[in-house]
Structure 1
Amino acid sequence: MPGGTVGLRELVIDAWSWLSYKETLAPETARRTFPELAGQWVPEEDLRRLAAYKSLVAYDQNQAGQLAAAHGDEDGGERRELGDPSRLIEAALGYLLGSEQKIVVPGAEHAEDEPPAEGAGSAAAVQERLRAWAKKEQFPLRVQQAERCAVRCGDGVYVLSWAPDKGRVLLRTYDPGWYFPEWEEGEQDIAEYPRRVHFAWGLPADPAKGVKERVRRITYELDWIAPATRSGYDVAGGAVRETVLGDDGTAVLTPGDVLTETGRITRIYPWSAGRPSPVTCYLTDAEWVLDDLRGSYDVYSLPAGKARYRTRADGEVLDRLDLQVDFQPVVHIPNSIPDVGEHWGRSVLALVLQGLDELAATDTDSSAASATTGSPVIALAGARLPVDRATGQALPVRVRAGSVWELSESGRMDTLDTSPQLAELRSRIDHLQDRIAANSRLTAAGLGLLDPTEVPSGYALQLALSPLDSLVGAMRLARSDRYALLLRMVQRLHQAGRVWPEGESLSAELVWGPHAPTDRAAVLADVVSGVTNGVLSLETGVRMLQDAGYPIEDAAEEVARIQKRAFDQAARLADATGDNAAVREYLRLPKTDLGGPRVPLPPKRPEA
């Protein structure tokens, strides 16, 4: 939001104020530094966000020096960059993702000796289908792609689409710099979603093929359901969608749609039986030649009359194509919990960017100092230097192993010792790394800067990692409802494609693995003690071992295996109950048929 003015400068406080110490966010500077932002279709109000994304990518790619040189820093090109921003991003990403990610539908799993809860069968079926889809769609890989972008830039974007030829939902990740949500006034908030979302990026010219520079825009829009359309052509031969007309010249409805008395067209979706909806989502995918655009157009107001619509693989023209769903298949992932009234997340580098600049400058000074320390500057007095016989000038002197100089009686040799300055610079590097680790909440222990021998106990290590725990907790909290929404969309798109059964969408969530190393030996000791002393159930103990990283794929199956070999417990059960059937059930053995035929015993031999 714009604040007050200080002198002749305007103070702007928004989601990207942490980069205001650079000139990157100024519109003129951003368009000059990043040519891809110079197009007239790039909205003025999005320039600060896009310039921030570009700057963060430059830091990640060790190009911060080139970015500084573009802003007039003559020494920017000589800056030493050793990958510290990328290390912060990778560390934060690793702790966020944990050891694994698993799709879980609540109620899908239960112990074998317990009766399943109501709806457990449906939950298990949905969980199995979601996991099979995730395997085909390489879901962990897509999560890595989107989350690395979210950790680095503050925002990530998923887009879902139905592929008729594959019969499943496709999951794609988009650069957040291509993402342009169109907000109504006062609508922008983390809990709100815009009714129209654009993805736009520039396409370069290709003179060899006679192709001009273009801009491509994909739009998802929620709007009232309209009559049926089909692919066709306009008078100029361009691909468009046209309304389907009946024999009487009136518009035809899509099969299953109903025209109400109020004039609205409604539709019952597979996931909302008995609840008609008048809303659907339209997809438009088009290109514009930049030379055709005259006037003040941007990504939100590109003229429909100059659009060239693209065609999908199945032949459908993407000009307000009805997707037959009542939601936008777009999920925005913020890296942090946005402030009140904000939609955008914050990068893990945001608050330590100046510290990274200081670290790069210190690395540069340290490199220069190490050069003079390894090859010191030497001053000679009273030395007989070699002379060029042609010019009579003294030849330059180089220090080599085995060099011998003849000095006069008053001659001397002085060496410039820069090792104290080098040691001080290295100490400053350590100080800056600790400061960055603390302010980013990744901690020195989390970044591997802490010597394990300096940690007095495991409890002290837990205290050292507590800021990291809170950071990971906040990052996962910001994402929890977004992944639940994404998995709900996956279910509904499969239902719309008529490959999954109809019915209410079940709640599903993405469960993250532990982010910090676990003392497996301590967990095992706790489980053995708790189960043996009767304060923990065997099921709970097995789940604790599973969470600690032991190779247990199915907790219920593992419990069954353990009970089959628990003969001591079975003996105590027999002594306590005297029920042989209960003992066999505990050991997971088949029941005995006591009503079967008896084996005849041989008669007793008569006594002599």
Structure 2
Amino acid sequence: MRLRTLVIDAWSWLNYKPVMADPDRPANSRAFPELAGSWVPAADMRRLAAYKLLAAYDSNQAGQLAAVTGDHHGLERRELGDPSKLIDTTLGYLLGAEQTIVVPGADHAGNDKPSGGAAQAADLQERLRAWADKELWPLRIQQAERCAVRCGDGVFTLAWEPAKQRVLLRTYDPGFYFPEWDDGEQDSSEYPARVHFAWELPADPVRGLKARVRRITYELGPIGAATQPGVTEDGRAIREQVVGAEGDPVLTVGDTLDAVTGAVQRTYPWAPGRPSTTTCYLSDAEWLLEDLGAAHDLYSLPPDKASYRVRSDGQVLHRLDLMCDFIPVVHVPNTIPDGGEHWGKSSLGTVLQLLDELAATDTDSASASATTGTPIVSLAGARLPIDRTTGQPLPVRVEAGTVWQLSDSGRMDALDTSAQLAELRQRIDHMLTRLAANTRLTTAGLGSLDPASVPSGYALQLALGPLDSLVGAMRLARAHKYQLLLRMVQRLHQAGQVWPAGESLPARLVWGAHTPTDRTTVLADVVSGYGAGVFSLETAVRMLQEAGYPIDEVAGEVERIQKRAFDQAARLADATGDNAAVRDYLGLPEADLVPTVPLIPTQPGQPASDAVPTSPAQATPLPPVATGRAGAGGVGPS
């Protein structure tokens, strides 16, 4: 490789592979036949080849891929699932025990004097969690995140479904994802103005379908006139402008025309008082491969050859106005991208050669174990059995119960390869230890550390330090992405007019603990900290929830605790003298008003304590007062 051909990019860690050696056209026609199509952009060839190569490692097919590219020993390669184990282990630590949607301020909605917006935050949190339950949120996260850990990138898409009246969450293979930036864009980490999803559909002779390319496009653009489904002269479904009686374009209901600029404006539910001139258009079309030439690629497919799809509600997906000013697609990188970079890095990236060495050692170990279990035997002076038909000695095999008759000077020697097998096993252990160190999963994280060799819990915590930093960096790369996704979910429901309009509230995804937590220590900290008044009850309950205690909702748990906090209620009564506040603290209903014992007016010269009514008419009732001390059921002080 000459210096001029040395390429350093997001996938240069694969340059040692022959299939990736050519920076201009890395796709081998035998290894990657689907990448040989003319519609695949040349700039994306290395990325797509890297995705397929990593998928081969995940499915124990790296040897088959090597055999296709010219390695004659590739089919003999032993692959024992180490790459897949690394992916699944990393994914497990990344996701933690659970994933929870949290809206800041929602836990304080049940307080006596909640902060401004607490009720709105609690309502949004409940809506998001109900939506996540319907859309199988944990399952979708695992689908996308496993792709991200393996390939370096994962993709979520959101789409409003009129029939279900909610947003649908879907995941795509990153090999189908093609973002497009405008000319002159300096930072590709910025959100693209156009996003494509494209893949090839094979021919189906039974149904009479030819090989096709399907492309789904999301594009930001200026708001235009209203459109409706139509048909071209050759029968293709398209969208056409709606015109009025005088032939003028008609605007969508709610849009206005700025008389100064001539631009169409729209006020979205999440931005009241701030008109926007931008919307997102969706197109979903297919092209026959035979209609595409060498000059056509994904970004320049001929529009006159497109066959647009029709949605279930009859809308033609040809620049369909989605009534939102953002692209409902979220790209999730596995790592924090470098400056100006868009793509993440696979968790297998830096240790791929180490995995190759491990597979080669496993192959050698299998060969050595074969000669150790069935050794090679050398015989001298033995009388071998003769084939009576040919008169030639029969092949000799070492089997249980075999007896050879040797002459006086005969000798039998066996080749002992157990020492080589032991050395190969030690090499495998060494490579696994190095693999744990280089991936930062640590031997404790991979489960190969003997628990008896750990002197204390603090020593184990120090051993898991690299794993903590790895998980922290991976979650940091995803924090903003999931905030963006939850904001889009909220706005699409507002655009569908099923959630109340208003400014978008921040929502985030809280990951569970990725390592075992000492619950006893956390509980002791909570008891001492809350008892000393260092932090609130809400914070204490959240600490217990993050430690793994079975607490479904912080606000509900706080309410249940307060209903039984009679000592705190008594102190509240002594401090305020407000019985209504005490009953509200305990979650009790307002007390009914009860009459007090009427006082009998005294007669002249008679003490009030000695007055005894002589008849009911002498008793003058007084206005009733509220009940007394909370929880006692008595009357108030006279």
* TM bucket, shorter chain: over 0.9
Partner in structure 2 of residue 207 of structure 1 = 205
Q: How does 1:173-212 map to 2 (within 5 A)?
A: 173-187=171-185, 189=187, 191-212=189-210
Say if 1:438 and 1:189 are closer, same or farther in 2 by CA, change over 3 A.
farther
Can you give the 5+ residue segments of structure 2 that lack an aligned partner in the other structure? Answer: 601-609, 613-638
Q: Is the 8 A contact 1:362 1:429 kept in 2?
A: yes
SS at match of 1:433: helix
Look up the match of 1:381.
380
User: What SS does the aligned partner of 1:484 have?
Assistant: helix
Select which of 5, 10, 13 maps to 1:18.
13
Q: Which residue of 1 aligns with 2:331?
A: 332
1:43–1:298 CA contact under 8 A, matched in 2: yes
Q: Give the C-alpha shift of residue 143 in structure 1.
A: 0.7
Residues 106-505 of structure 1: pairs in structure 2 closer than 5 A: 106-110=104-108, 112-187=110-185, 189=187, 191-261=189-259, 262-505=261-504
Please tell me the residue identity of whatever aligns with 1:120: A
* Alpha-carbon distance in structure 2 between the residues aligned to 1:524 and 1:107: 24
**Residue aligning to 1:85:** 83
- 1:571 CA displacement: 7.1
- 8 A contact 2:281–2:319 mirrored in 1: yes
| Alignment deviations for residues 361-398 of structure 1 (CA, whole Å, 9 cap, x no partner) | 00111111111111111111111111111111111111
Contact 2:226 2:242 in 1 (8 A): yes
Q: Is the 8 A contact 1:200 1:217 kept in 2?
A: yes
**Once the two structures are aligned, what percentage of the paired residues are identical?**
68
State the superposition RMSD in angstroms.
Answer: 2.4
Corresponding residue for residue 67 of structure 1: 65
Deviation of the 1:183 alpha carbon = 1.6
Q: Is the 8 A contact 2:180 2:196 kept in 1?
A: yes
TM-score of the superposed pair, with normalisation by structure 1? 0.93
Cα distance in 2 for residues equivalent to 1:374 and 1:218: 58
The answer to whether the Cα contact below 8 Å between 1:187 and 1:194 also exists between their aligned partners in 2 is: no
Contact 2:39–2:292 (8 Å) recurs in 1: no
**What CA distance in whole angstroms lies between the structure 1 residues aligned with 2:481 and 2:572?**
48
**Once the 2 structures are TM-superposed, how far is the Cα of residue 443 of structure 1 from its aligned partner?**
1.2
CA deviation vs aligned residue, 1:508-534 (integer Å, no higher than 9, x gap): 111111111101122223333444555
Partners of 1:188 and 1:342 within 8 A in 2: no
1:555 positional shift: 3.2
The alpha-carbon distance between structure 1 residues 295 and 408, as it changes in their structure 2 partners (threshold 3 A), is closer
**Gap change, CA 1:301 and 1:583, over 3 Å in 2:** closer
Structure 1 residue 587: deviation in Å? 5.7
Q: Which amino acid aligns with 1:175?
A: D
State the 1:564 CA deviation: 4.8
The separation in 2 between residues aligned to 1:149 and 1:112, in whole angstroms, is 40
After superposition, the Cα gap between the structure-2 partners of 1:528 and 1:403, relative to the gap in structure 1 and judged at 3 Å, is same
Letter in 2 for 1:201: W
Counterpart residue type for residue 558 of structure 1: E
The 3 A distance-change label for structure 1 pair 138 and 411 is same
* Amino acid corresponding to residue 301 of structure 2 in structure 1: L
Structure 1 residues 126 and 445, CA, compared in 2 at 3 Å: closer, same or farther?
same
Which moves more between the two structures, 203-212 or 91-100?
A: 203-212
* 1:52-79: CA deviation from partner (whole Å, max 9, x where unpaired): 0000000000001011111211110111
Shift of 1:256: 1.5
CA contact (8 A) 2:270 2:491 kept: yes
Alpha-carbon distance in structure 2 between the residues aligned to 1:249 and 1:564 = 69
CA 1:293–1:513 in structure 2 vs 1: closer, same or farther (change >3 Å)? same
Cα distance, 1:309 vs structure 2: 0.8
Structure 2 CA distance for aligned equivalents of residues 275 and 536 of structure 1: 40
- Give the aligned residue type for 2:457: G
CA distance in 2, matches of 1:312, 1:465: 51
Q: Deviations over 1:574-602 (max 9, x none)?
A: 8x76969487776666676786333999x
Amino acid at match of 2:14: L
Offset at 1:275?
1.2
CA gap of 1:249–1:99, structure 2 versus 1, over 3 A, is same
Contact 1:190/1:338 (8 A) holds in 2:
no
Mark the CA change 1:112 to 1:126 in structure 2 (over 3 Å): closer, same or farther.
Answer: closer
Give deviations 1:454-507, integer Å, cap 9, x for gaps: 111111111111111111111111111111111111111111111111111111
Cα 1:390/1:186, change in 2 over 3 Å: same
Partner residue in 1 for 2:514: 515
- One-letter code aligned to 1:61: S
Once the two structures are superposed, what CA deviation does each residue of 1:208-234 show, in whole Å capped at 9, x if it has no partner?
322111100011111111111111111
Quick one: which amino acid aligns to residue 309 of structure 2?
Answer: R
Q: Which stretches in structure 1 are left out of the alignment for 5+ residues?
A: 1-5
